[in-house]
Amino acid sequence: MPRFGVLGPLTIEDPPGRRTTPRGDHQRALLAVLLLNANSSVPVDALVETLWPDTPPKSYSSNLHTYVSRLRARFEGLEIERDPHGYRLVVAPADLDLLSFREAAAAGKAAARAGDPASAAGHYRRALAEWRGPVLSGLHIPRLDADVARLESERLAAFEDCVDAELSDGRHGELTGELQAMITEHPLRERLAAQLMIALHRAGRQADSLAVHRELRATLVEELGVEPGAEVRRVHAAVLRGEDPVPSAKATPIFPICQLPPDISDLAGRESEIAKLSGLLGDGTGVPVAVITGEPGAGKSTLAVATAHRLRRSFPDGQLFVPLAGASDPRDLSDVLGDLLRALGVTGPAIPDDVEARAAVYRGRLADRRVLVVLDDAASPEQVRALLPGTPGTAVLITSRRRLSGLAGADRLPLAPLSGAEAMTLLARLAGPDRVGAERADAERIAKACGNLPLALRIAGSRLAMRPGLPLGKLAGRLEDEVSRLDELQVSDLQVRGSIALSYQALSPAARRAFRLIGRCRTLDLPAWAVTTLIDDEDADEAIDELVEASLLEATGLDATGEQRFRVHDLVRVYATELGRELETRAERVATVAKVSDAALCLADTAARRLPRTVPMPLSDHDVPAQPLEAELVERLLSDPGTWFSVERANLVSAVSSLCAVGWRRKALRILERLSAYLYLHSHYTDMRTSYETLRDAAREAEDRHIAVIADANLAVLLHVRGEYERAAEGYRACSKELAELGDLATRAWVETNLAHCLVGLGRAGESLHAATQAREMSTVEDSGTHARRAESAALHRLGKISEALEIDRRILAQARESADDRQLGVALQGLSWSLMLDGRQEEALATIEESVRVLRRTTAKSALAKSLRTQGAILAGAGRREGAVKAYENARRLAGALEERPRELSCTRAIAASWIGDGRADRAIPVLRRCLDEFRAMGGKPATGLTLHVLRRAYEAVGETEAAEAAGEEAKRLEVPHDANASTLVRLLLSLTEPAPA
């Protein structure tokens, strides 16, 4: 899950440390408003007002859905839920700075109420640290102005609460500068002024404190015409009397005191070590000192805390816990002693400035007390000595990465890693005993890869707990890769790079060359054909084996095509790329990348030509190189072209982006044209849209008009399939004009055909027929001509010219039967069946559509099958076979929903709702039909809107809502187009479903 930030500029960290942001103002605004209302539903109206503050577009609903889909696709793990009221972004407090701020501020309030100002101040400081600047700085969204102002008020209130806590804790000396800066920003804030007066007075600066009052009073009188409030007057009076403005609370007993962190419940092993430490510290003689030493991650602090909890009864006056941060940034001894003295009840002026004096007061407070002092992560003997108590009864337990040999009289306990059994116990407690028991062999592999080190085991176990579906074997495989293991366990870049360098230097010259070549491919998941193409050497297999043996290349098994896959860690790839830049020429690097991208393009070309061509855009033969791979390998990989595309889909999408980045736009287009054959067939519209947007943006930046317009034409197709007819038609027209100027008639023919189909959906049959005819005349290949003739048939239906449409559909079917292509045949049968139905040949239409469905069920063309099932439902309704009609519509709706083909899904929903009217459930049908109506109107589909109104009229009549029925009927009548045989027939068929079922 990414981590989001709104307390400052809008940021998304995914992975941690790498910040990104959504593309486009609308996506940024949408994400911002959802984050500011995290875990709460935001009404659609509010989102629309946010995105379009002036006038929203007619297609605002589908636009909003598109933006939400893009956010989900861009940020893996992003949860945006749709509920009856709107949209809700689900996020954990740790993954959003606003929620983290509020959680920490609430903890601060709770600690303050509990009388623990030091703890409260810590929580407040943690809360304030989440702020990086003004809320959503750089992103102005007028509708959020009130929310932004409210959050700024929350921030200021948290700061003031923090100051109160720190003043109560005696930290006035640290606050004056910060308070003065805040007052400069908020000169009318009386609480801030009172706090600054208190801090200055306690620091012995009475004159400065009084000056703050004078400046505040002058400002309030001049700007607001009012005197300072009661609190400021009270503080002012106390300062004038030389008294502490905040009287000390009644002294409360300090002892017993316990500062120990919680004891962990999943401690595994260490019983013998706890017993030994307990014996050393609890004997009651002198001031025993025990030092736990060991490597990082050995569990020193965990053991110290567990031991201290066991010894609480032996030290009834308390347990102090002092973090010394010796491994990172050793704390200043004066600060440490100051914290200890405040914990022991010494505050304000009673805390000396001199370190030795502070140490003396500290020892005095512990004199004759039975207190255990835990000094965690000590840096040196010098840091520890001043913290040792001076009288018997107390004891000291120290943890350190060093032995602290200069600390005389201390007992040392070197802490080794866990035993094998203890490691398995810890892993089981973290990931679940049943899960570890069921995959024990893989769990043992994980423990071994972690070296039985408690910290490493805890990280691995926590990852398993967060991902219940992750097989232990998979995690074990990652950890067994020596290159990626430290990164998996959060070890720094420098250490990882050093480890990679050591492995690289141990390789043979051939393997070193192979390593650098693999680094040129930005894809991390590599098929064997790509690796061998990159290396291009007869000894490639030996070099690959050596890289795998050195853990610089991970063999991940066979994919669905039977090809070996290899995985390269990203940091390994970066290191290999760095070496390549240092040791090889640019020409050599370019030649290698060209070779592997040629192989990918040729494979994609062959695979695409073996799939049914459903995407209504041309597949260019230009710029396709000769296949560099052996024919036998190509046949094995592409025995099932759909499987090959599914395996390489992510790599090909990534390749499009990478090729655009280096300026190879033409090759990126050729790969994407072929990948689209698979993506469109299986409705992977998000990948298709993202890739074409990337290509279009790169082409525009390079002023490459031809590639840019082809990308725009494909993006218009995606608008079309989602039912955004007006935008799609506008896009098609712009592309057609541009293609005409560029002289690309072949592509323009496809675009004009798509425009013709789109205009049918908009109810503009005359324009559609003109576009379709023009497209047919421009067509240079059979595919585009057939597509244009289908558009002509659809337009002729709307114009009432059924005989002409029948003639076209019969010719299309004859060609399809000759092609022996089941998809073409099924589509042609569907077109003819509907023309037959419009011509009154019901029995012939029914037989034809049934053949269409049978044929298409043998193919992967799910979209075409959904269309045929919908047509089958309509024809069955006309034949009075109500049950079969509803079943066909339900099957079509399921397919259309899965394919995200919203117009078709809505039309099937409308037919099913019509059947409910006939079943006596009109009250249930009405809200469904209203929603369909709203969406059809937003799409601009007049024929679909009119059909829905006819069904809705019948529903209103069934429940007795006469006025609503009349209004729906009148509006439907206004939308009717003379001679539209398609609409009139569909009205008749749909209304037949509203009639009561025969007994």
Q: What is the pLDDT of residues 788-844, one digit of tens each?
A: 898 899 899 889 899 999 999 999 999 999 888 898 899 999 999 999 999 999 999
- Assigned CATH class of 508-584: mainly alpha
Q: Are 530 and 521 in contact (CB under 8 A)?
A: yes
DSSP 3-state of 578: helix
Residue 638's pLDDT is what?
Answer: 94
Residue 290's pLDDT is what?
Answer: 94
With cut-offs at 50, 70 and 90, classify the pLDDT of residue 23.
confident
DSSP 23: S
Could you tell me which residue, 610 or 612, shows the higher pLDDT? 610
Question: What's the mean per-residue pLDDT of the chain?
Answer: 86
Q: Choose among 528, 534, 608, 524: nearest CA to 571.
A: 524
Residue 921's pLDDT is what?
Answer: 94
Work out the average pLDDT over 278-288: 81
Work out the average pLDDT over 644-670: 93
Residue 110's pLDDT is what?
Answer: 83
With cut-offs at 50, 70 and 90, classify the pLDDT of residue 247.
very low
Residue 697's pLDDT is what?
Answer: 96
Could you tell me which residue, 575 or 969, shows the higher pLDDT? 969
Q: Per residue in 733-742, pLDDT tens?
A: 999 999 999 9
Q: Per residue in 477-521, pLDDT tens?
A: 877 764 455 456 543 333 324 435 656 777 889 999 998 888 778
Helix (H) or strand (E) holding 312: none
Residue 927's pLDDT is what?
Answer: 95
Q: Which CA distances in Å does 628 have to 16, 492, 529, 743, 985?
A: 40, 41, 11, 33, 56
DSSP string covering 218-259? HHHHHHT-----HHHHHHHHHHHHT--SSPPPPP----SEE-
Pairing of strands 289-293, 395-400: parallel
Assigned CATH for 901-998: 1.25.40
Write a three-state SS string for 520-551.
Answer: CCCCCEEEHHHHHHHHCCCCHHHHHHHHHHCC
pTM: 0.50
With cut-offs at 50, 70 and 90, classify the pLDDT of residue 327.
low
Q: Per residue in 386-434, pLDDT tens?
A: 899 888 889 999 998 677 777 888 898 888 878 889 989 999 988 889 9
Tell me what percent of the chain is helix, strand and coil, each rounded to the nearest 5: 65, 5, 30
Most confident among 81-85, 331-335, 666-670 (mean pLDDT): 666-670
* pLDDT beyond 90 at 225: no
DSSP 3-state of 556: strand
The CATH architecture that domain 721-799 belongs to is Alpha Horseshoe (1.25)
Q: Choose among 205, 112, 217: nearest CA to 157.
A: 112
DSSP 400: E
With cut-offs at 50, 70 and 90, classify the pLDDT of residue 847.
very high
Residue 499's pLDDT is what?
Answer: 39
Nearest-angstrom CA–CA distance, 240 and 321: 40
DSSP 3-state of 373: strand
Could you tell me which residue, 491 or 980, shows the higher pLDDT? 980
* pLDDT beyond 50 at 250: no
Residue 948's pLDDT is what?
Answer: 94
Could you tell me which residue, 783 or 531, shows the higher pLDDT? 531
Most confident among 254-258, 435-439, 489-493 (mean pLDDT): 435-439
Sheet with 525-527: list strands edge to edge.
Answer: 525-527, 564-567, 554-558
Nearest-angstrom CA–CA distance, 983 and 989: 10
Residue 457's pLDDT is what?
Answer: 81
Q: Are 804 and 798 in contact (CB under 8 A)?
A: no
Residue 568's pLDDT is what?
Answer: 77
Assigned CATH for 257-415: 3.40.50.300
